[in-house]
Amino acid sequence: MEAIMRDDLLALVEREVLGWPGVGKDTGRPGCTVYRFGRREIGHVHRDGVADLPFPKTVHDELIRAGEAAPHRAGFPGYVSYHVQAPEDVPGAVELFRRNYERARKSAGRRASRSFNDTA
């Protein structure tokens, strides 16, 4: 895949993900951009167009079984990989990030609720 096209596709994913409240990015890893909700990683994208996203085992296994993602290319358990190689791959990548974003938001809401109830 041509590097310019890949960069444009990854920019589309980034623009969408960074548009969600509470999401930021960290470029501390060489060749990789990490997207976080608060301190929690919702996924990262390598310069070669591979998005890696952490999921609980049951979700991880279902995504792979359904063909919505592939096992992590380096074999890291709990992570799936998704290749962004063409314009039609962008919505699938965004959807995986959104699923993790929603999980992170719900988790943060539960923590905030418990914290509020502990102080009330």
In tens, the pLDDT along 33-75 reads: 999 999 999 999 999 999 999 999 999 999 999 999 999 999 9
Biggest distance spanned by C-alpha atoms of the chain: 57
Q: Which of 99, 14, 17, 25 is nearest to 49 (CA)?
A: 14
**Helices 90-119, 3-18: inter-axial angle, 10-degree rounding:** 30
Q: How would residue 4 be classed by pLDDT, with cut points 50, 70 and 90?
A: confident
Q: What is the CATH number of the domain that holds 101?
A: 3.90.1150.30
The total domain count for the chain is 1
Query: How many residues in the chain?
Result: 120
- Pairing mode of beta strands 32-37, 23-26: antiparallel
- Residue 111 and residue 98: Cα distance in Å, rounded? 20
Q: Which domain holds residue 109?
A: 3-119
**Mean pLDDT calculated for residue range 96-118:** 77
